[in-house]
A and B are shown apart, each in its own frame.
Chain A
Amino acid sequence: MEADTETQVLFERPQAMQPVRMHYCPGCTHGIVHRLLAEVMDEFDLVERSVGVAPVGCAVFAYEYFTCDMLEAAHGRAPAMATGVKRVRPDLFVFAYQGDGDLASIGIAETIHAAARGENISIIFINNAVFGMTGGQMAPTTLPGMRTSTTPEGRDLKLAGNPMRVCELLAALDGPAYLARVAVTNPRRVREAKRAIRRAFQAQLDELGFSLVEVLSTCPTRWGMPPLDALKWLDDNMVPYYPIKEFVVAEGLAEAE
Chain B
Amino acid sequence: MTLARGERMLMRGNEAIGQAALDAGCRAYFGYPITPQNQIPDYMAAHMPEVGGVFLQAESEVAAINMVYGAAAAGVRTMTTSSSPGISLMQEGISYIAQSEVPCVIVNIMRGGSGLGNIAPAQSDYFQAVKGGGHGDYRTLVFAAWSVQELYDLTREAFDIADRYRSPVMVLGDALLGQMMEPIVLPEEVVDPDALPPKPWATDGAKGRPRRIVNSLYIEPLDLERMNRQLQARYDEAAEREVRCATEHLEDAKLALVAYGTAARVGISAIEQARAAGIPAGLFRPISLYPFPNRELARVAEQVDAILVAEMSLGQLVEDVRLAVDGSCPVHLYGRPGGVVPTPAEVVEQIERVMADTRG
Contact = CB atoms under 8 A, between A and B. Distances in A.
B331 interface: no
Contacts of B69: 71, 73, 77, 80-81, 84
A88 B213 contact: no
A81 B67 contact: yes
A84 B28 contact: yes
A77 B69 CA distance: 10
Contact of B205 (A50, A77, A109): A50
Nearest to A61: B217
B213 A87 contact: no
Contact of A70 (B30, B60, B63, B211): B211
Interface string A64-92: 00111111111001001111111111011
B318 interface: no
A230 to B, nearest CB: 26
B206 A80 contact: no
A63 to B, nearest CB: 5
B345 interface: no
A84 B68 CA distance: 6
A49 interface: yes
Given A71-B215, A72-B216, A87-B54, A81 B70 contact: yes
Contacts of A91: 205
A28 B30 CA distance: 38
A82 B69 CA distance: 9
Interface stretch (B72-80, B148-156, B179-187, B260-268): B72-80
Interface in B30-71: 30, 54, 56, 58-60, 62-64, 66-71
A48 B208 contact: yes
A63 B218 CA distance: 12
Contact of B58 (A73, A80, A82): A80
A175 B69 CA distance: 23
B27 interface: yes
A88 B76 contact: yes
B217 A72 contact: yes
Interface in A10-27: none
Contacts of B208: 48
Contacts of B68: 84
Interface in B195-232: 203-208, 211-217
Nearest to B216: A72
Nearest to B76: A88
Interface size class of A (residues with CB under 8 A): 20 to 34
A110 interface: yes
A109 B59 contact: yes
B205 A87 contact: no
Contact of A51 (B60, B204, B217): B204
Given A74-B93, A84-B74, A110 B204 contact: no
Given A87-B54, A89-B74, A67 B92 contact: no
A60 interface: yes
Given A68-B211, A88-B54, A74 B63 contact: no
Interface in A76-122: 77, 80-89, 91-92, 109-110, 113
A47 interface: yes
Interface in B74-89: 74, 76, 78
B132 to A, nearest CB: 16
B67 A109 contact: no
Contacts of A113: 58-59, 63
Contacts of B71: 84-85, 87-88
B83 to A, nearest CB: 20
Contacts of A81: 66-67, 69-70, 73
Given A72-B214, A84-B74, A88-B76, A51 B207 contact: no
Interface string A184-222: 000000000000000000000000000000000000000
Contacts of B206: 47-48, 50, 67-69
